[in-house]
Structure 1
Amino acid sequence: MNQLGHNIPIAERAYRIRRNALRMGEVQGQGYIAQALGIADVLAVAYFHAMDYRPDQPEWEERDRFLLSIGHYAIALYAALIEAGILPEDELDTYGTDDSRLPMSGMAAYTPGMEITGGSLGHGLPIAIGMALALKHKKSASFVYTLFSDGELDEGSTWEAAMSAGSYALDNLIGIVDVNNMQADGPSRGVLNFEPLVPKFEAFGWHVQRVDGNDIAALVAAFDTARNTDIKKPRLVICDTKMAKGVPFLEARERNHFLRVEPEEWTQAFVALEAGKTS
């Protein structure tokens, strides 16, 4: 397990990830900020409790791989990679600008720590299966984590991959699905109802847990179980998260898949985030 900054509470890491995401969002004045705020707790637990990696060696062969299938969540992953020390903090202000290593959609060729180029939804889980199989053939003890969205449950490739992972009994694969019930066309369950998720994935041969994705203690327990359970199955942690978690006035916006934030609202957002930390 990675011991980086073991004396810093995971909740503090999650706060810093949210703050980093807001700082990047302010550069553009808009973006996928609500997703970043919502998934921050999951990323904090992944990078500061569960995963094994070396910040100064992003391509260390024995690392656990974290695949971001949802390319537009790149702002969230950058925020975590900066907090983890894989990327320098001074690059925050370059987010989405020309020649930046932090493009608005994640691209592996540009960014250390970005394992795949995501964005074409439904691709992350199939790629993760290929990586997990390759690691099995190499007798590697590394895990492959892949984060995908409830919107990606609309894609047939996700379910083909789910069936394959179960068939191959990939116990080195840990899927994380962010269920925030929002996609570009509206509430995810209204676009295409994917529930009940737990029995569906179990039917495909997965070990499945469902937790509050903004409850750090629950996430720690779920990630520990996913990693340590002695069962020859792929593992899935379904995370129910709240869009824009930590900034109440953004949480309250009815449509927040892509947020446009007025210049005067950024200060309010930082104040609200800080207030939530200390309350």
Structure 2
Amino acid sequence: MSKLQDTATQIRRDIVRMVHAVQSGHPGGSLGCTDFLTALYFKVMKHNPSFNMDGVGEDVFFLSNGHISPVFYSVLARSGYFPTQELSTFRKINSRLQGHPTTHEHLPGVRMASGSLGQGLSVAAGAALAKKLNNDTNLVFSLHGDGELDEGQNWEAAMFAAHHKVDNLIATVDWNGQQIDGPTDKVMALGNLAAKFEAFGWEVVHLEKGNDVDEVVATLEKAKTLTGKGKPIVILMKTGMGHGIDFMEGSHEWHGIAPNDEQLAKALAQLPETLGDY
């Protein structure tokens, strides 16, 4: 899996460089979810970078916690959806790479505008049900923040997916224990997430090492074996916000702060260039 690890390292370089260049963006969650999205796009998901919006005949992904757009954009570029050079336009005027992904920019790989938290599970459940109705045997994947679960719409969507036996949906919760205002346990404790999803009729899979790309691949493959059995699937993924950069890791303070010049240099020194910078 060394190639995947090299890819994840380069994507982390992309993230901090993009956010630093415009002194705006969300590095913490992006770094924490890098291994997941690397595993998904470069190993697990059957997708086509030529991109058609309907996603017929391929697996599709929906990013609900859209503020982690830096990692999403880097993964899309590195997997062939658009040139990596376009990453240099992140958050600039007239760029397709806005702070939160949007559909009206027609950026290949983006199927929903996200960043208004809580909506992604509804979209993913609807897309998965559409695949079932159309006899499309491919899967729908989605990613959500743990703090995002404060939004009640998630639980309506969870009921909907279970009621309609949307068993081609694999949702993942980035359970890093942090949100914009502090630790989730202090802002609004999530309690026993596994018991809650099970009570809502979901199959629960645990991923304790969400920053180990090998473990992420193995867990996603396990989740795929559980599809088609009458229940939607959720992966509860433990990650560290800011993972990969020692002074960022584990702190909600890096949720939406850009590194300065000195901090960027320190970060890049911990992330060797592996695939070539954009």
Do both share a fold (TM > 0.5)?
A: yes
Task: Give the structure 2 partner of residue 261 of structure 1.
Answer: 259
Q: Distance in 1 between matches of 2:219 and 2:191?
A: 20
Match among 19, 22, 25 for residue 25 of structure 1: 19
Match among 111, 114, 133 for residue 110 of structure 2: 114
Task: Give the structure 1 partner of residue 220 of structure 2.
Answer: 223
Q: Which amino acid aligns with 1:243?
A: M
Q: State, as a whole percentage, how many aligned pairs show the same letter.
A: 36
Q: Deviations over 1:92-121 (max 9, x none)?
A: 110000111100111122221011001111
SS at match of 2:204: strand
Deviates more, 1:28-37 or 1:92-101: 28-37
Offset of 1:58 from its aligned partner? 4.5
Q: Which amino acid aligns with 1:272?
A: Q
Task: Give the structure 2 partner of residue 244 of structure 1.
Answer: 242
1:139 aligns with 2:135: yes
CA contact (8 A) 2:49 2:80 kept: yes
CA contact (8 A) 1:29 1:263 kept: no
SS at match of 1:67: strand
Q: Which amino acid aligns with 2:225?
A: N
Task: Give the structure 1 partner of residue 56 of structure 2.
Answer: 61
CA contact (8 A) 1:206 1:233 kept: yes
Unaligned runs of 5+ in 1: 1-6
Aligned ranges for residues 81-96 of structure 1 at < 5 Å? 81-96=76-91
CA contact (8 A) 2:177 2:185 kept: yes
Q: Distance in 1 between matches of 2:98 and 2:258?
A: 18
CA contact (8 A) 1:58 1:86 kept: no
Offset of 1:8 from its aligned partner? 6.7
Offset of 1:35 from its aligned partner? 1.0
Unaligned runs of 5+ in 2: 274-278
Match among 188, 198, 212 for residue 192 of structure 1: 188
Aligned ranges for residues 208-219 of structure 1 at < 5 Å? 208-211=204-207, 212-219=209-216
1:41 aligns with 2:38: no
CA contact (8 A) 2:102 2:112 kept: yes
Q: Which amino acid aligns with 2:69?
A: A
Offset of 1:50 from its aligned partner? 1.2
SS at match of 2:128: helix
Q: Deviations over 1:247-270 (max 9, x none)?
A: 102226562211231122211110
SS at match of 2:236: strand
Offset of 1:9 from its aligned partner? 2.0
CA contact (8 A) 1:171 1:235 kept: yes
CA contact (8 A) 1:208 1:236 kept: yes
Q: Deviations over 1:210-262 (max 9, x none)?
A: 11211222211210111122522111111111011111022265622112311
1:148 aligns with 2:147: no
TM-score by length of 2: 0.92
Match among 42, 66, 72 for residue 67 of structure 2: 72
1:124 aligns with 2:120: yes
Question: Could you say if the C-alpha distance between residues 119 and 88 of structure 1 is closer, same or farther in structure 2, counting changes exceeding 3 Å?
Answer: same
Question: Could you say if the C-alpha distance between residues 58 and 88 of structure 1 is closer, same or farther in structure 2, counting changes exceeding 3 Å?
Answer: farther
Q: Distance in 2 between matches of 1:159 and 1:253?
A: 27
SS at match of 1:258: coil
1:102 aligns with 2:97: yes
Deviates more, 1:265-274 or 1:151-160: 265-274
CA contact (8 A) 2:26 2:258 kept: no
